[in-house]
A and B are shown apart, each in its own frame.
Chain A
Amino acid sequence: MNFPSELKYTKEHEWVRLDGDTATIGITDFAQGELGDIVYIDVDTVGDVIDKDEVFGTVEAVKTVSDLFMPVTGEISELNEALNNQPELVNSDPYGDGWLIKVKISDPSQFEGLLSVDEYQSLVGA
């Protein structure tokens, strides 16, 4: 399993990359492996401001559906449109082309409070 060291992580198995005040958010390699074939990303909260730990959407795999939680408070500025036709990108490239949303974050200190790669790896036993 692959866990890029420049990213921050959550116990809900999401990753966050910060670029200025924009956070890019996706699910981890561990999460996509557990979910199996992903068939649909349901996010209809673009433009909304959503609090940390609240649900911003769901990811549907063949067998299961799982909620997606905001790692940090902010306004969802963009959904990865490529996932409409190719949800399997989340499986094949979870940290790259399979990113889920971009968020204008409200409080940068929340980012610093997320899990480091080491903390996340020990969480999933990797």
Chain B
Amino acid sequence: MKTTALTQKHIALGAKMVEFAGYDMPVLYSGINDEHHAVRKSAGIFDVSHMGEFILKGPNALALIQQVTTNDASKLVPGKIQYSCFPNNDGGIVDDLLVYCIDDKTYMLVVNASNIQKDWDWIMKFNSHDVEMHNISDQTSLLAVQGPDATKILQPLTSMNLNDMVYYTFQKGVFAGCENVLVSNTGYTGAGGFEIYFENKYADTIWDAIMKEGMKFGLKPAGLGARDTLRLEMGFCLYGNDIDDTTSPIEAGLGWITKFSKEFNNSSALKLQKEQGVVRKLVGFKMMEKGIPRKGYQICDESGNEIGIVTSGTMSPTLNEAIGMGYVKSELSSEGTQIFIKVRDKLLKSSIIKVPFVKK
């Protein structure tokens, strides 16, 4: 099993460790609900160093990114970030990712840990114009500091102006005395905050500095468990659950990052899908009866006929209500539609609602 540069810190803090995407990762420290509330109310720190980072470099880097991703990367300027996905040629998604524009010939792609090799091979297939590619995942650590107090905790550690850093932008500079640290105003929680990329050798220094600054604000280390409940409250897709090789970006509600102003892999088929409409759609729903939806549970109509499938579900710690996401037939996907979730042998009433489940 792979480790991150901070694995020993997590173990020393008493984290419960699990294997995730081939890495030994903390799933929780004090408890999912406790960590979840800390992120919504003050701040939490997540080690997400398992995520993958690729550097694409050269005069043809942009053209390659345009070919393999759905969003329009030509809109990026240095210091800006874009959410995007790699479509496959069968209507599905290879992975979702962030595209960082370092300069007009250099980009960083941030991908899911479980897909690092798959993504690398996929991009390589289309790299016919000698774009220089570097997989820096194993040398790179990534911390997410998320929550309303994140700026107050991190600002004393750097001269980069975090207060004025706009959402989905980044800067590079010195952080906690460490050089070449990239800080971006991004995250996967909807609570605000930053993601911090740096070389593994700085991991202990940066972790300790943030934990020390965070103490007076109640910063808590948070694991993958809270990361999942936080992202689900915002209706953010998780690759492997809500999107995968068989779900199209249009079905998944990712039309907003699918730009037909350019051509890309499978763009003509996806364009047709957008114009003609999709057969199923990813929706959010809230349980109206007691019970918790889980990935793989059937979504049914009143008579018990299957009309879809749950892709994510949990008890929302913020709302104290059971929520979920799943694919349903398009004609049954409008807000307010009553659906039923088959929990074990029972059909439990549920209602389709708009995401995010938790409003900012």
Binding site for B on A (CB under 8 A): 36-37, 39-40, 42, 58, 60, 62-63, 65
Contact = CB atoms under 8 A, between A and B. Distances in A.
Given A36-B225, A40-B315, A62 B32 contact: yes
Given A36-B225, A40-B291, A42-B290, A62 B344 contact: no
Given A42-B291, A60-B292, A65-B294, A36 B28 contact: yes
A40 B292 contact: yes
B84 interface: no
A39 B315 contact: yes
Contacts of A40: 290-292, 315, 322
B229 interface: yes
B321 to A, nearest CB: 10
Given A37-B31, A37-B33, A39-B315, A65 B225 contact: no
Name A's interface SS: strand
Interface string B283-297: 000000011101000
Nearest to B291: A42
Contacts of A42: 290-291, 343
Contacts of B315: 39-40, 60, 62
Contacts of B314: 62-63
Contacts of A62: 32-33, 225, 229, 314-315, 317
A62 B315 CA distance: 6
A62 B343 CA distance: 15
Contacts of A39: 292, 315
Interface in B315-338: 315, 317, 322
A119 to B, nearest CB: 25
Contacts of B322: 40
Nearest to B314: A62
A65 B292 contact: yes
A36 B290 CA distance: 19
A26 B277 CA distance: 51
A58 B290 contact: no
Given A36-B28, A36-B31, A37-B33, 20 more contacts: A36-B32, A37-B31, A37-B32, A37-B34, A37-B317, A39-B315, A40-B290, A40-B291, A40-B322, A58-B344, A60-B291, A62-B32, A62-B33, A62-B225, A62-B229, A62-B314, A63-B27, A63-B32, A63-B228, A65-B292
A46 to B, nearest CB: 15
20 contacts: A36-B225, A37-B32, A37-B33, A37-B34, A37-B317, A39-B292, A39-B315, A40-B290, A40-B322, A42-B290, A42-B343, A60-B291, A60-B315, A62-B32, A62-B225, A62-B229, A62-B314, A63-B32, A63-B228, A65-B292
